[in-house]
Amino acid sequence: MYSVFLVEDEFVIREGIKQLVDWERHGFELVGEAADGELAWPVIQKKRPDIVITDIKMPFIDGLELSQMIRRELPDTSIIILSGYDDFEYAREAIKIGVNRYLLKPLPKDQFIDVLRQVKKQKDEEEATNRYNSQFSDEVQEYLSSSRRGLFEAITSGKTSTSQILERAGNLGIDLVAEQYNVVLFFLEENIERVQNTFDIAEIQERINKECTTDPHRLLFSIGLEVFIILIKADRTEIDMESHKCTEALKRQFQTLGNKIRWVILVGQPVSRLSGIADCYREARRTFFRKKHMVANQIYWIESVSNEEPLETSHIIDFNLNDLDPGKVDQRIILKFLNNGIQEDVRDFVESYFEDIGRAGMSSTSFCQYMVLSIQFTVNAFLERIGYERPGDFLGGEIKLEEAIASKAAVKAYIIQLLSKAIMLRDKLVKNRHSEMLEKALKYMKENFQDSTMGLNTVAQIVNVSPTYFSSVFSQQTGKTFVESLTELRMEKARELLRCTNETGSEIASKVGYNDSHYFSFLFKKINGCSPRNYRNGKREKIDSKKEEK
């Protein structure tokens, strides 16, 4: 139902127009009236009607002036001008302003109702187009997000040729050609138990994404849920400056969060080829867990101030403590890896961790025993924090704790085994939580897919996470975007209704969540290979049988 506001200075005519039409029966609601433009304008601003019907000749502010004000501030409002003057200049000015209809008084009832119907039809079409554009925009955004993740995986996998990468980037409208490249890797660390932090991360991601969209030197990629990378591309003389500008912009954004979330930024060494980005990314990721300033390859580290205190450590060891950098055995390094590491990183992490400690430490039996026990306690504490009541029950393996303590040779192998098992348990727990969230989301989608207003934001709100987080989890866990899954549900029901009922295409479209029957038909044909009518008539089977014969 469309809202209508009436402006007419002659009371008798105003009352006549009000009585002329059965407004509600024709899909309209009169929401207000006024005797001139000056009185009408503040009420129109407040009520924001869909249609304004106004006389052209009025005191104070006339119909043309009022129309200009409406068109400037309320561009979606339709305007019907009533005029007692058959004057070409008035009509030409009305056209220039963008008035929808120009009617001459006196108004025959049938003509007036016909004009209202035409305006209503026009607004119905505009609404359908807006819904289509909105829905199409959501699909495009989800597709682009998923495709960009795939592009970055191709860049860093080392298995895709440069020509294929450039072709994929071109299909996404991304220009990857540059003299040099660099990566800015940043981690946003949240408490694994505090899902509400994902809203903060999503907000930051959206702000950073806007900055990157307007900067031709930066491309933002999401790697998982808390790890992000910005690919810097620039001329050889500008690459270092652009990398620095990027880190400063990130710091400004992160500092707005205060102490809500820990963050870390790492910057890689510039490379001249696309194929070099993979090594640049892997080295930056390894450096994240080692926590040290690496001047040799120009990787440097910036991090937020932490309120955490380092774990207390004992130093009952049989070598000179002056030979050991305490920062290299800080158990926060282990915790950082447990929070953010992946299985593929474990062996490299352990190798570099013990390499940093040095031969002096690893040659000491007492120190090796201390290291094993310290890391074991850290892993136990981590698993308890994320929800395992008795973590020791889950950490069994081929190498036992007693064997690792008794033999220096078994230390490294035991810690690799320990961290691998802990990360597996962490991922399993997170996957279970995601499974519960997805189960709830899918249940809601199956029960409410016929609701045309349902979208990504609606379902994310139902499962109490941000839309960005939900979209990422949904696509990672199901292998499909949210829109693809919702469309599949709707099409499955549409096929059933086409075969089992005599309902029209428009009725079926409405029952499966599409207000616009044309958009429904377009999607149906795109997904099923034939129109809804042909599907109902059995032509789909003929098409399928011909394919089988071939």
User: What CATH number is given to the structural domain containing 79?
Assistant: 3.40.50.2300
Q: Any alpha helices (H) in 59-184, and if so which ranges?
A: 63-73, 88-97, 109-157, 162-171
Structure tokens at 470: 């939900």
Residue 226's pLDDT is 62
Tens digits of per-residue pLDDT, 150-201? 788 888 877 888 888 898 888 878 888 899 999 888 877 654 444 444 556 6
462 and 425 in a single domain? The answer is: no
208 and 92 in a single domain? The answer is: no
Q: Rounded to whole angstroms, what are the CA distances from 179 to 60, 161, 170, 299? A: 65, 18, 17, 20
CB 441 within 8 A of CB 463: yes
Phi then psi for residue 299, to 5 deg, are: -90, 125
Q: CATH number for the domain including 473? A: 1.10.10.60
Tens digits of per-residue pLDDT, 469-511? 788 788 877 878 888 899 999 999 999 999 899 899 889 999 9
329 and 405 in a single domain? The answer is: yes
* 3-state SS class at 4: strand
Is 481 exposed, middle or buried, given 0-12, 13-18 or 19+ CB atoms closer than 10 A? buried
Instruction: Give pTM, 2 decimals.
Output: 0.45
Q: What's the mean pLDDT in 307-324?
A: 38
Per-residue H/E/C for 196-212: CHHHHHHHHHHHHHHHH
Count Cβ neighbours within 10 Å for each residue of 212-243 and write b for 16 or more, e otherwise. beebebbbbbbbebbbbbbbbbbeeebbbebb
Whether 548 has a pLDDT exceeding 50, the answer reads no
Beta bridge mates, 271:
181
Specify if 256 maps to a domain.
yes
103 and 192 in a single domain? The answer is: no
286 and 186 in a single domain? The answer is: yes
197 and 264 in a single domain? The answer is: yes
509 and 476 in a single domain? The answer is: yes
Structure tokens at 161: 């040729």
291 and 329 in a single domain? The answer is: no
Among the candidates 303, 334, 351, a domain finishes at: 303
Specify if 130 maps to a domain.
no
Specify if 151 maps to a domain.
no
Residue 159's pLDDT is 80
CB 277 within 8 A of CB 231: yes
* 3-state SS class at 294: strand
Beta bridge mates, 233:
181
Specify if 42 maps to a domain.
yes
68 and 29 in a single domain? The answer is: yes
Whether 18 has a pLDDT exceeding 70, the answer reads yes
Q: How many domains does the chain have?
A: 4
Percent of residues, the chain, with pLDDT higher than 90: 13
193 and 293 in a single domain? The answer is: yes
Percent of residues, the chain, with pLDDT higher than 70: 75
Residue 362's pLDDT is 63
331 and 297 in a single domain? The answer is: no
Specify if 120 maps to a domain.
no
Q: What's the mean pLDDT in 311-340?
A: 55
98 and 24 in a single domain? The answer is: yes
Range(s) of the domain holding residue 354: 321-431
Q: Rounded to whole angstroms, what are the CA distances from 384 to 380, 425, 531? A: 6, 11, 56
Q: CATH number for the domain including 247? A: 3.30.70.270
Residue 302's pLDDT is 53
3-17, 360-374, 516-530: segment of lowest average pLDDT? 360-374
Whether 455 has a pLDDT exceeding 70, the answer reads yes
Specify if 149 maps to a domain.
no
Question: Could you tell me which of 339, 337, 340, 315 has the C-alpha nearest to residue 326?
Answer: 315
Among the candidates 92, 107, 122, a domain finishes at: 107
Q: What's the mean pLDDT in 516-544?
A: 77
Specify if 310 maps to a domain.
no
∠ CA 342-348-351, nearest 5°, is 135
Specify if 285 maps to a domain.
yes
